[in-house]
């Protein structure tokens, strides 16, 4: 049976496989014995391999062991977990914060805790899969509005039954297009219609805003939106997810989020690494400056060659190709020229919008970016895209 299902996927060019990275830390790694330039990592600030962060993880692992041994609510809350949550709350300027095993788990726990049967969720069509799963799991009625379409959202809000508990769910930075949600307008609408706004800032944390506190900082909305969700697995360079907010909200979530309650606490080494990473992130704003300079250099190069990069306003740069098989060929061409930027296909992205998804980080050098632009030119010419 599985043979047949896989065969069907294959016929549509939608089978996936795992690419093994054998050595190295982004952006230069070894794949299939070749040194490759990675344009696919979300380690935006180059922190995953930072010696001080690795050291913090190692020290905490020595002191507390590798595994936490139990759920956070039993005996699994170790000092590094509390240190991590205090550091997160300081960074996000909230009273409190709660860490989850991953960003996926943060959404899966928080959304069903915040809204359930009888409620209504309105979510952007391009929301991350973890948000979609969380919305389904919540048991609330769940409708999709067209991507960043405020008129559509407004129509759905004004059509609902009066006084119905409603939550609007969006990414801050969309993970496959790199564009931003119009958060000020979304917040205005939710206020007007007495709904709540849930912003997943997985790709905004550490990247967006004057001091890297995220997309809410970028739009000057930190004070207005009552809680913030993000991940520790991308710009923070570690692993985990978080919700930051008021003392009451956090106490409520730790009593009701099933993906927090019924799973073993994250490894203490990871928690200690997060503390070190948040510290470096805030002490070294030049990392973010380099990230944005690199983004400009790469976008300039791609624009000059005539690639369409859509509405990207972040270090996520999509090169929309269309058909899945053409996107795969493009990615293979890039790989043969020493650049790894994978083809992203349905169901991760809508039909006919298969693409190469490029992410740039602060760790790339100008020479590496220029090399990437050359590889894109050759690959683009080979499939007659440019
Ligand atoms: C990556 C991502 C997540 C999941 O975060 P992990 O920590 O990798 O589990 C959630 N939401 C969005 C928008 C993401 O891009």
pLDDT per residue as tens, the chain (386 positions): 899 999 999 998 888 889 999 888 889 999 999 999 999 999 999 999 999 999 999 999 999 999 999 999 999 999 999 999 999 999 999 999 999 999 999 999 999 999 999 999 999 999 999 999 999 999 999 999 999 999 999 999 999 987 789 999 999 999 999 999 999 999 999 999 999 999 999 999 999 999 999 999 999 999 888 889 999 999 999 999 999 999 999 999 999 999 999 999 999 999 999 999 999 999 999 999 999 999 999 999 999 999 988 899 999 999 999 999 999 999 999 999 999 999 999 999 999 999 999 999 999 999 999 999 999 999 999 988 88
Same domain flag for 273 and 299: no
Q: How far is the CA of 162 from the centre of ligand 1 (A)?
A: 33
Nearest ligand 1 atom to the CA of 233 is: 7
Whether 241 is covered by a domain: the verdict is yes
* Residue 339 near residue 359 (C-beta atoms within 8 A): no
Whether 1 is covered by a domain: the verdict is no
Q: How far is the CA of 3 from the centre of ligand 1 (A)?
A: 30
Question: In CATH, what number is assigned to the domain containing residue 316?
Answer: 3.90.1150.10
Q: How far is the CA of 103 from the centre of ligand 1 (A)?
A: 5
My answer on whether omega of the bond before 138 falls inside 30° of 0, hence cis, is no
* Residue 214 near residue 230 (C-beta atoms within 8 A): yes
Whether 169 is covered by a domain: the verdict is yes
Residue with the smallest CA separation from ligand 1 atom 3 is 103
Nearest C-alpha neighbor of 44 from the set 364, 376, 366, 386: 364
This prediction has a pTM of 0.96
* Residue 259 near residue 126 (C-beta atoms within 8 A): no
Nearest ligand 1 atom to the CA of 241 is: 7
Report the distance separating Cα 240 and Cα 28, nearest Å.
24
Whether 134 is covered by a domain: the verdict is yes
Report the distance separating Cα 238 and Cα 272, nearest Å.
10
* Residue 157 near residue 193 (C-beta atoms within 8 A): yes
Same domain flag for 302 and 244: no
- Ligand 1 pocket test, candidate residues 107, 127, 200, 214, most atoms within 8 A of CB: 200
Same domain flag for 302 and 268: no
Same domain flag for 274 and 289: no
Same domain flag for 64 and 179: yes
Q: In the chain, how many domains are there?
A: 2
Same domain flag for 203 and 350: no
Pocket-forming residues, ligand 1, beta carbon under 6 Å? 102-104, 107, 128, 130, 171, 175, 200, 202-203, 231, 233, 241
Same domain flag for 299 and 270: no
| Domain end point (choices 256, 283, 310) | 283
Residue 314 sits in which domain range? 13-42+285-382
Report the distance separating Cα 330 and Cα 382, nearest Å.
8
The pLDDT value recorded for residue 377 is: 97
Report the distance separating Cα 350 and Cα 81, nearest Å.
38
Same domain flag for 153 and 27: no
CA 77 to chain centre: 26
Same domain flag for 376 and 244: no
Residue 161 in tokens: 């039954």
Exposed, middle or buried, 255 (CB in 10 Å: 0-12/13-18/19+)?
exposed
Same domain flag for 155 and 188: yes
The pLDDT value recorded for residue 25 is: 84
Instruction: Please list the active-site residues.
Output: 175, 203, 234
Nearest ligand 1 atom to the CA of 232 is: 7
Nearest ligand 1 atom to the CA of 107 is: 10
| Domain end point (choices 221, 249, 283) | 283
Residue with the smallest CA separation from ligand 1 atom 7 is 103
Same domain flag for 129 and 86: yes
The pLDDT value recorded for residue 207 is: 98
The pLDDT value recorded for residue 185 is: 98
Angle between helices 150-159 and 183-192 (to 10 degrees): 10
Same domain flag for 202 and 241: yes
Q: Which residue is associated with the tokens 């962060």?
A: 53
Q: How far is the CA of 127 from the centre of ligand 1 (A)?
A: 11
Q: How far is the CA of 59 from the centre of ligand 1 (A)?
A: 27
The pLDDT value recorded for residue 65 is: 98
Whether 157 is covered by a domain: the verdict is yes
Whether 7 is covered by a domain: the verdict is no
| Domain end point (choices 226, 255, 283) | 283
Whether 204 is covered by a domain: the verdict is yes
The pLDDT value recorded for residue 54 is: 98
Report the distance separating Cα 100 and Cα 171, nearest Å.
18
Whether 262 is covered by a domain: the verdict is yes
């Amino acid at each position: 049976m599985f043979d047949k299902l896989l065969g069907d996927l294959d016929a549509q060019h939608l089978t996936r496989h795992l690419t093994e990275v054998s050595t190295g830390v982004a952006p230069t790694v070894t794949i299939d014995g070749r040194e490759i330039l990675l344009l696919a990592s979300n380690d935006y600030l180059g922190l995953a391999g930072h010696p001080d962060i690795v050291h913090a993880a190692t020290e905490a692992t020595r002191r507390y062991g590798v595994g936490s041994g139990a759920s956070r609510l039993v005996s699994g809350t170790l000092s590094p977990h509390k240190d991590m949550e205090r550091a997160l709350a300081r960074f996000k300027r909230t009273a409190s914060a709660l860490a989850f095993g991953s960003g996926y788990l943060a959404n899966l726990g928080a959304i069903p805790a915040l809204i359930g049967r009888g409620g209504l969720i309105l979510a952007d069509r391009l929301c991350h899969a973890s948000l979609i799963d969380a919305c389904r799991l919540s048991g609330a009625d769940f409708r999709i509005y067209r991507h960043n379409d405020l008129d559509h959202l407004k129509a759905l809000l004004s059509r609902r039954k009066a006084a119905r508990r409603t939550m609007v769910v969006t990414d801050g930075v969309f993970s496959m297009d790199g564009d931003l949600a119009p958060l000020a307008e979304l917040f205005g609408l939710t206020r007007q219609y007495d709904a709540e706004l849930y912003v997943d800032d997985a790709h905004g944390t550490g990247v967006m805003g004057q001091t890297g506190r995220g997309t809410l900082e970028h739009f000057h909305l930190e004070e207005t939106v009552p809680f913030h969700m993000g991940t520790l697995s991308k710009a923070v360079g570690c692993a985990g997810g978080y919700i930051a907010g008021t003392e009451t909200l956090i106490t409520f979530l730790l009593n009701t989020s099933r993906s927090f309650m019924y799973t073993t606490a994250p490894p203490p080494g990871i928690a200690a690494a997060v503390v070190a990473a948040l510290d470096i992130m805030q002490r070294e704003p030049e990392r973010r400056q380099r990230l944005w300079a690199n983004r400009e250099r790469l976008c300039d190069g791609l624009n000059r060659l005539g690639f369409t990069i859509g509405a990207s306003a972040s270090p996520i740069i999509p090169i929309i190709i269309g058909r899945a098989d053409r996107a795969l060929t493009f990615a293979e061409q890039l790989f043969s020229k020493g650049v790894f930027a994978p083809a992203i296909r349905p169901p991760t992205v809508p039909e006919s919008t298969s693409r190469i998804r490029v992410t740039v980080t602060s760790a790339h050098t100008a020479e590496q970016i220029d090399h990437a632009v050359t590889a894109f030119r050759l690959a683009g010419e080979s499939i007659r895209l440019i």
